[in-house]
Amino acid sequence: MRARFLVPALAALGLVALAAPAVAAEAPGGGTHVPAADRGDATPLSLDEAVELVKRRYDARVLRAEETKDGDEVVYRIRLLAADGRVFTVHVNARTGGVE
C-alpha cells in the first residue's frame, strides 16, 4: 500500500527537480528573466517571488520592496544592501520577470 503513494510522490518530486534549473535565466543586458512559460503558468510574479529572485541574483539583503505601476504594468521596486555596503534599487516587471 505504501508503494502506491510513494510512486506518485517521487514522480512529482522528480518533475520539480527537473523544472528548477529553468526558473531563472540570464536576460539580455545582464538582468534576470523568469518567463511565465518557464514558471509553468501565466500568473505574474508576486512581490515575495520578486524579492527572492533579486536576493539570489545580487546576493544582497532587501531593505525595502514595494509595488508600483508603469502604465498598465505592475513593477516591483526593490532596494537592496550589498555586502560591500552599497545600496541600490532594482525594478522587476511582475508580468515578465525582467529585472532592470
- The residue segments making up the domain with residue 37 are 2-93
pLDDT digits (tens, 9 = 90+) for 25-76: 333 334 555 555 455 556 899 999 999 999 999 999 999 999 999 999 999 9
pTM across the whole model: 0.60
pLDDT for residue 86 is more than 90: yes
HEC states along 15-82?
HHHHHHHHCCEECHHHCEECCHHHHCCCCCCCHHHHHHHHHHHHCCEEEEEEEEEECCEEEEEEEEEC
| Total count of domains within the chain | 1
Q: Is 100 a member of any domain?
A: no
pLDDT digits (tens, 9 = 90+) for 87-100: 999 999 999 999 99
Q: Is 98 a member of any domain?
A: no
Q: Is 42 a member of any domain?
A: yes
Q: Is 99 a member of any domain?
A: no
